[in-house]
């Protein structure tokens, strides 16, 4: 611990602190743009590139960036001197001088940190008027829009991509006025190893990186009398959508969400949790088979499309490991356009499947060619939690005042195992619940595998299942996935089953979820809500879902059948690591 003075207050802080961190201990807020803090991964990164956080340090000629200046014994700091404040105003003026002025139509309007700072500093006119950057907007992929005219070189996205996710798709390109963060060679994202996880979008403080907006194709579909438009909603959406309407993080809004979707015109409202139960039927079957044969272990869950693309680029030598089971989103679409279409007496092309997901990579996943049948995609349109909130506001839906409704049938019934897919560790726990029953031939009562739960980036557990010691690993954040997979490559670790989710904390923290200031608090509350829904369910095991049982009896036969493989399984492709 060392002693220093901040604004005439004497404090003691750890010697490893920065000035920004020291100021936080006495509730002094220093504005920042480039500072990155991801509590669930214990990551705090200070690039010092924006210079918005400058402070005055006694004895130093130049202002110091608080986010990356380490404290020293006896240091005397002023965060609120006129010199520091004017320094920040100058930096804001310079950043704004090369920034588009289309705030009213920008996707980040209302959630832009640069906009907030301009308001906070009462900037109503610009001191500097000079050249403006001009780049072509990258619209080549289904998930992420890049508008480099709005890049302020804060490099937060670079930290998210390279340090948190270790994807390595983004870096600083150019020098001086021409400097931006972009892929090498200024390639569009779809020609790189980008996984479309959307963490760069979540961390971008301005509108340089935003989600590809699919709201208007949904509105068009809803107004097409020749189409039957059905919607599925992912588990993580129901514990986050309320935040867009002022509710506390973790507010369980399942019933209101169903009512809202019916109000805006969907013909039927189904639950992705149904397809999560279906995924477990196939994935648990595959897991048991591999364990009994002792081959192709560990099995890797493959529900996360961002993780799958990461694997295809970065670990093609381990291609035998992932489960061949499709994700719940894609299983839902395949069943909707076969089993459900038959029930309706409709052709697959007469049905439009819309997904509401917490994840931007799901937009990319739906566009993959292997997830279509006779060139008819399993899932037609994917929108994020944020996009749905925008649609409801456009339609004047008073979300908080809505009554609760139930999902439609037959693809609306789900179990507790299905809903926990939204949290890190949930897919693995759901699989263990079913595998344990099937291996013992019993209806086991102890089904809470709490060792696999939590927001930690890497969790390891040994679970007793039917007398077998099953070694499991759970990771969230692709950087953590890399650590586990590299240990396997080196022969330093052996597991039976691994769950990987691309986003830190799992789908609860997907790139399409509502923007939040306190990420760790929101994640914890969303997680608690997910497990509360699970605990309150009357059925908590996927194989006991009566509509899943009926689906197999009437249509699929049994888990792992030929028809199940045709509709519910897929393969993966090694890709260039560029």
Q: Which residues are catalytic?
A: 283, 286, 303, 323, 362, 365, 370, 507
Phi, psi of 567 (to 5 degrees): -95, -35
* Whole-number Å distance between alpha carbons of 416 and 414: 7
DSSP 3-state assignment of 128? coil
* Whole-number Å distance between alpha carbons of 430 and 501: 15
Q: What angle do CA 168, 173, 175 make, to 5 degrees?
A: 150
Q: How many CA atoms lie within 13 A of 212 on its CB side?
A: 21
* Whole-number Å distance between alpha carbons of 575 and 167: 13
Residues 137 and 145: beta-carbon distance below 8 Å:
yes
Distance of CA 277 to the CA centre of its chain: 21
Render the burial of 132-153: b for 16+ CB within 10 Å, e for the rest. Answer: ebebeebeebbbbbbbbbbbbb
* Whole-number Å distance between alpha carbons of 209 and 424: 25
Residues 445 and 569: beta-carbon distance below 8 Å:
no
* Whole-number Å distance between alpha carbons of 76 and 232: 57
108 Cβ contact list (under 8 Å, min separation 6) = 115, 204, 206, 207, 210
Distance of CA 324 to the CA centre of its chain: 22
Residue 48 has a CB neighbour count (10 Å cut-off) of 18
User: Among residues 457, 436, 440, which one has the least CA distance to residue 448?
Assistant: 436
Residue 284 has a CB neighbour count (10 Å cut-off) of 28
* Whole-number Å distance between alpha carbons of 531 and 189: 36
| Backbone conformation region of residue 54, classed left if phi is above 0, alpha if psi is from -120 to 50, else beta | beta
146 Cβ contact list (under 8 Å, min separation 6) = 137, 138, 182, 188, 189, 208, 209
User: Among residues 136, 142, 145, 139, which one has the least CA distance to residue 186?
Assistant: 136
């Amino acid at each position: 611990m060392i002693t220093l003075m901040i604004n005439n207050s004497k404090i003691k802080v750890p010697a490893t602190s920065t000035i920004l961190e020291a100021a936080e201990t006495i509730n002094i807020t220093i504005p920042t743009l480039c500072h990155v803090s991801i509590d669930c991964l214990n990551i705090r990164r200070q690039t010092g590139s924006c210079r918005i956080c400058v402070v005055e340090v006694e004895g130093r000629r130049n202002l110091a960036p608080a986010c990356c200046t380490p404290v020293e014994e006896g240091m005397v700091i002023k965060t609120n001197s006129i010199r520091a404040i004017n320094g920040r105003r100058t930096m804001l003026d310079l950043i704004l001088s090369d920034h588009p002025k289309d705030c009213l139509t920008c996707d980040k309007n209302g959630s832009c940190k640069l906009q907030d700072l301009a308001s906070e500093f009462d900037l109503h006119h610009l001191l500097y008027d000079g050249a403006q950057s001009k780049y072509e907007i990258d619209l080549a992929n289904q998930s992420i829009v890049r508008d480099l005219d709005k890049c302020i070189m804060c490099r937060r996205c670079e930290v998210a991509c390279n340090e948190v996710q270790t994807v390595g798709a983004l870096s600083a390109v150019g020098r001086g006025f021409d400097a931006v963060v972009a892929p090498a060679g200024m390639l569009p994202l779809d020609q790189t190893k980008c996984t479309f996880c959307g963490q760069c979008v979540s961390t971008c403080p301005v509108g340089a990186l935003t989600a590809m907006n699919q709201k208007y194709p949904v509105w068009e579909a809803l107004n097409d009398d020749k189409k039957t438009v059905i919607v599925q909603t992912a588990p993580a959406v129901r514990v986050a959508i309320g935040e867009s309407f002022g509710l506390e993080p973790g507010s369980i809004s399942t019933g209101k969400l169903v009512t809202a979707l019916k109000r805006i015109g969907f013909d039927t409202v189904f639950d992705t949790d149904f397809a999560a139960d279906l995924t477990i039927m196939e994935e648990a079957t595959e897991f048991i088979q591999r364990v009994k044969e002792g081959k192709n272990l560990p099995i890797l869950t493959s529900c996360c499309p961002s993780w799958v693309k990461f694997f295809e680029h970065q670990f093609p030598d381990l291609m035998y490991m992932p489960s061949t089971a499709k994700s719940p989103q894609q299983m839902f679409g395949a069943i909707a356009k076969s089993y459900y279409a038959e029930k309706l007496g409709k052709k697959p092309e007469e049905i439009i499947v819309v997904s509401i997901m917490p994840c931007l990579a799901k937009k990319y996943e739906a566009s993959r060619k292997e997830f279509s049948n006779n060139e008819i995609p399993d899932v037609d349109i994917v929108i994020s939690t944020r996009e749905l909130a925008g649609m409801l506001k456009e339609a004047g839906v008073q979300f908080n005042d809505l009554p609760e409704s139930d999902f439609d049938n037959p693809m609306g019934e789900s179990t507790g195992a299905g809903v926990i897919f939204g949290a890190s560790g949930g897919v693995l726990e759901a699989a263990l619940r079913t595998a344990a029953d099937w291996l013992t031939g019993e209806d086991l009562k102890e089904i809470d595998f709490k060792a696999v739960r939590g927001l930690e980036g890497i969790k390891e557990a040994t679970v007793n299942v039917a007398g077998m010691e099953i070694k499991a690993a759970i990771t969230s954040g692709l950087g953590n996935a890399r650590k586990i997979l590299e240990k396997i490559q080196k022969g330093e670790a052996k597991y039976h089953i691994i769950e990987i989710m691309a986003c830190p904390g799992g789908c609860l923290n997907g790139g399409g979820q509502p923007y939040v200031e306190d990420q760790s608090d929101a994640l914890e509350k969303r997680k608690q809500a997910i497990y509360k829904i699970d605990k309150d369910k009357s059925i908590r095991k996927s194989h006991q879902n009566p509509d899943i049982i009926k689906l197999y009896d009437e249509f699929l036969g049994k888990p792992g059948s030929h028809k199940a493989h045709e509709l519910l399984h897929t393969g993966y492709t090694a890709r260039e690591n560029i």
